[in-house]
Chain A
Amino acid sequence: MSAIVKVEDLTRIFDVSKPWLNRVIERSPRALLTAVSEVSFEIEENSVYALVGESGSGKSTIGKIMVGLVPPSRGRVEVDGVDLATETDRAKVDAVRADIQMIFQDPYASLNPRWTVRDIINEPVSIKGGDTKGLAERLLEQVGLSAVDAGKYPHEFSGGQRQRICIARALAAGPRIIVCDEPTSALDVSVQSQVLNLMSDLREELGLTYLFISHDLTVVHHMADKIGVLYLGGLVEEAPRDRLFDAPKHPYTQMLFDAAPRMDAFGREVDPPKGEIPDAINPPPGCPFHPRCPIAVDRCREERPRLRPIGETRVACHLAE
């Protein structure tokens, strides 16, 4: 198995300053929000790599950078050896663009209500002048809908069916990698299981690679081969699934696991985690997690830990062993 996606030192900084005139009058400084900070990881072909984290951890931004919706500030994302942000050879860019598709969180907002399902699914192919005859019908059947649905409009479908249409659209261009940004968060549990099963089936049938972005630990545990945990834009821990769930090494990962509600934990009395995610515009110095960390020492307040390997795990904590 070889890495199909390589993310190196990826950083994205958003300028969230007030307009120029306000800054001059109010003497407020520029405000820069570091959404993604020096993230590096690799995704192997035909595997599921999951990014988990709470809101503001930068997981969606990484997904957007990967498909080219947002350019990185520093660092690079290589898909099949091609860096979308800097590559100048048009043919190479086009080839990679077709290889990587995205499924969004909200199936109600990501389908054009004025287009028929056929047009929606055909668009990625027809825009390049490809042959779309029978394509929508075939894909609809592949994702568990019926061929006659192609003439309908998105409002005629339920949330789970719409997400199937989104998946069909993502498959139309014949991609090898699909970035899924919270694909089931908007769905009910019984429908979520249908969509997750469909995604697993398609992965086997078509040899797909997924970048699976989610905040839901149980879903991630179900789907992923390898998991990266993000906190305040940085990767704090990365490990194969079983390793991560059996022996989380970073205190944040441990906190996240303890806090997640469990179906088998009747009346469990948890000692809830303390504090909240700090402001990403003024992150704390040193390790970003140290204000909430139960085991922080002086070193954590001063020096930002780098990811270092421990066995199969990579962890960014001075104290982990």
Chain B
Amino acid sequence: MTTPVLSVRDLVVEIPTRRGVLRPVDQVSYDIHAGEILGVVGESGAGKSMTGNAVIGLLDRPARIVSGEVLLSGEPVHALKGERLRKLRGKKMGMIFQDPLTSLNPLLTIGEQLTETILEHLDVTQSEARERAIAALDEVGIPAARQRIGSYPHEFSGGMRQRVVIALALCAEPDLVIADEPTTALDVSVQAQIVALLKRLCREKGVAVMLVTHDMGVIAEAADRVAVMYAGRLAELGPVREVITNARHPYTAGLMASTPVASQGHRRLRQIPGAMPRLDNLPSGCAFHPRCDRAEPRCREEPGPSLEACDGRAACWFPLTEKTEVSA
């Protein structure tokens, strides 16, 4: 098998606080291959954004990687700092943030922002960079790119701004793109446009995409594989169709059942009791056991097993085996 574009191995991120050390990311491992979209889902506080930030080296202090490694095309990048990390970001890794307005500089035209990135990472002249910038805008579907390259971010609508951010993330031709909730701030019709765009670019350019979102619908339509996170750990990892229609981890199954499905009508939603535990107050054993209807004494005492224990799919001592319906 070819070397994956991104390989995360046993990644642990810790935040030392006065009340003790928190672990927003705990023993997370996964790979993303070229041309593949890995969806990362979970509720707020599950550690999905933190994982993305750790990969691209954007952890805010005091959060830090304490163990594990991040390999980009086989090269370790988790220990890089300063200038070497900055060179790598943008060139090898692009990032798309949730709010397109705050991730663009309001004082520079989008052309200036694009050419700056291109000149920084590629060996081209000023005019070539400009042509590349126009091509990049064209690529993400901004009409009349040549005229609009001199516009400022505020002159664009939300969906168009997100396209500019995507162009910015892709203009230096990275191998990996981390998209952190790229459509959450957008309307449904614009969201569909952006998801279609991401899928097309991923396929055409062979970019590996890590798509962080809480929207299962977006995951189902866009992702090839999906990683479900709960309280900092991977609960389940597998092909998207398998995970959604045939969840093995009780948390994934609960998540699917509590999502309203258009074809189900007025029937009562199944609900997972309680809420995700706070990181400073994690229960013993498996973090999901207080909310789990399959919990047994073992779950209270031992932390959940590694994914490998259940065919590499679910971190659960008693995984679901029979077919669970999406809405049961």
Q: Give the nearest-CB partner of B239 in chain A.
A: A266
In the bound assembly, the distance between CA atoms of A221 and B187 in angstroms comes to 18
Q: Does A222 lie within 8 Å of B188, measured CB to CB? A: no
B10 on interface, CB distance cutoff 8 Å: no
Within the complex, which residue of B258, B261, B266 is in contact with A264, where a contact is CB–CB below 8 Å?
B261
User: Does the CB pair A273–B189 fall under 8 Å?
Assistant: yes
* Chain A hits for B217, CB < 8 A: 218, 260-263, 265
Taking A189-B258, A266-B240, A272-B196 as contacts, is the C-beta distance between A217 and B221 under 8 angstroms? no
B227 within 8 A of A: no
The reply to whether A266 and B259 contact each other, CB–CB distance below 8 Å, is no
Question: In angstroms, how far is the closest chain B Cβ from the Cβ of A176?
Answer: 21
User: In the assembled complex, which residues on chain A have CB atoms less than 8 Å from the CB atom of B4?
Assistant: none
Interchain CA distance A215-B192 in the complex, whole Å: 14
Q: Is B269 at the interface (CB under 8 A from chain A)? A: yes
**A81-89, A167-175, A192-200 - interface stretch:** A192-200
Give the contacting residue for A193; candidates B44, B193, B216, B258; CB below 8 A: B258
Q: Do A261 and B195 touch (CB < 8 A)?
A: yes
Assembled-state Cα–Cα distance A269/B199 (Å): 9
Minimum C-beta distance from A166 to chain B (A)? 16
Report the interface size class on chain A: 35 or more
Residues of A within 8 A of B199 (CB): 269
Q: How far is the CA of A293 from the CA of B2 in the complex (A)?
A: 46
Whether B43 lies near A189 (C-beta < 8 A) is yes
User: For the complex, what is the distance from the CA of A266 to the CA of B157, rounded to whole Å?
Assistant: 29
Give B241 Cβ to nearest chain A Cβ, in Å: 5
Contact across chains for B259 and A263 when beta carbons are under 8 A apart: yes
B159 engages A273 (CB within 8 Å):
no
Q: What are the residues of chain A within 8 A of B187 when measuring CB–CB?
A: 54-55, 215, 277
- For A189, the chain B residues whose CB sits under 8 A away are 43, 214, 216, 255, 258-259
Task: Report which of A219, A265, A277 forms a contact with B260, defined as CB distance below 8 A.
Answer: A219
Chain A residues positioned under 8 Å from B268 (CB to CB): 197, 200
| A256: interface (CB < 8 Å) | yes
Q: Give chain B residues whose Cβ lies under 8 Å from the Cβ of A263.
A: 216-217, 220, 244, 256, 259, 261, 326
Residues of A within 8 A of B221 (CB): 261-262, 265-268, 270
Among A168-227, those with CB < 8 Å from B are 188-194, 196-197, 200, 215, 217-219, 221-223
Q: How far is the CA of A273 from the CA of B196 in the complex (A)?
A: 10
Contact B326 A264 (CB under 8 A): yes
B87 surroundings in chain A (CB, below 8 A): none
Are B260 and A221 in touch, CB under 8 angstroms?
A: yes
Residues of B within 8 A of A247 (CB): none
Q: Which residues from chain B contact A264 at a C-beta distance below 8 Å?
A: 220, 244, 261, 326
With A and B bound together, what is the CA distance between A259 and B240 in angstroms?
Answer: 20
Q: How far is the CB of B259 from chain A (nearest CB, A)?
A: 5
Q: Check B192 against A261 for contact (C-beta < 8 Å).
A: yes
**Nearest Cβ on chain A to B18's Cβ, whole angstroms:** 18
Write the nearest CB–CB distance from B223 to chain A, whole angstroms.
Answer: 9
Question: What residue in chain A is nearest B213 (Cβ atoms)?
Answer: A261
Considering only CB atoms, which chain B residue lies closest to A255 in the complex? B189
Question: Judging by beta carbons under 8 Å apart, are B264 and A222 in contact?
Answer: yes
| Residues of the A chain whose Cβ atoms lie less than 8 Å from the Cβ of B275 | 158, 160-161, 188, 190-191
- In contact, A192 and B258 (Cβ under 8 angstroms): yes
Considering the complex, which residues of chain A in the window 237-284 have a beta carbon less than 8 Å from any beta carbon of chain B?
A: 241-242, 245, 255-256, 258-270, 272-273, 276-277
Given contacts A189-B214, A190-B271, A265-B220, contact A259 B191 (CB under 8 A): yes
In angstroms, Cα B157 to Cα A215, docked, is 18
In this complex, the member of B215, B217, B241, B265 whose beta carbon has the largest number of chain A beta carbons within 10 angstroms is B217
Chain B 240-280 interface mask (CB, 8 Å, partner A; 1/0): 11001000000000111011111011101111110110000
Judged by a CB distance under 8 angstroms, whether B190 is at the interface is yes
> Cα distance A61–B275 when bound, in Å?
32
Residue B218 CB within 8 A of the other chain:
yes
Question: B220 near A262 (CB under 8 angstroms)?
Answer: yes
Do the beta carbons of A193 and B241 come within 8 Å of each other? no
Which interface residue of B188, B195, B217, B261 has the most chain A CB atoms within 10 A?
Answer: B188
A266/B241 in contact, CB under 8 A: yes
| CA–CA, A23 and B6, complex, Å | 55
Of the candidates B157, B262, B264, the one having the most CB atoms from chain A within 10 angstroms of its own CB is B262
Which B residues are in CB contact (< 8 Å) with A272?
Answer: 189, 192-193, 195-196
- Residue from B192, B255, B260 in contact with A190 in the complex, judged by beta carbons closer than 8 Å: B255
Interface residues of B in 180-203 (CB under 8 A from A): 187-193, 195-196, 199
Is the beta-carbon distance between A196 and B269 smaller than 8 angstroms? yes
Which of chain B's residues have a CB closer than 8 A to the CB of A277? Answer: 187
B214:A188 contact, CB within 8 angstroms: yes
Report chain B residues within 8 Å CB of A193: 258-260, 269-272
| List of B residues within 8 angstroms of A241 by Cβ | 265
The closest CB in chain B to the CB of A57 belongs to B187
> Are B244 and A261 touching (Cβ within 8 A)?
no
Residues of A within 8 A of B256 (CB): 263
The 3 closest A-B pairs by CB, nearest first: A261-B217, A193-B258, A188-B43
List residues of B whose CB falls within 8 A of some A CB.
43-44, 157, 159-160, 187-193, 195-196, 199, 214-218, 220-221, 224, 240-241, 244, 254-256, 258-262, 264-266, 268-273, 275-276, 326
- Can you list 30 pairs linking A and B with CB atoms under 8 Å apart? A55-B187, A159-B44, A161-B275, A188-B43, A189-B43, A190-B254, A193-B258, A194-B273, A215-B187, A215-B188, A217-B188, A218-B260, A218-B261, A218-B262, A222-B269, A242-B265, A255-B189, A256-B189, A259-B192, A260-B188, A261-B218, A261-B220, A263-B220, A265-B217, A265-B220, A266-B240, A268-B221, A270-B196, A270-B221, A273-B193
Report A's interface with B, CB cutoff 8 A: 54-55, 158-161, 188-194, 196-197, 200, 215, 217-219, 221-223, 241-242, 245, 255-256, 258-270, 272-273, 276-277
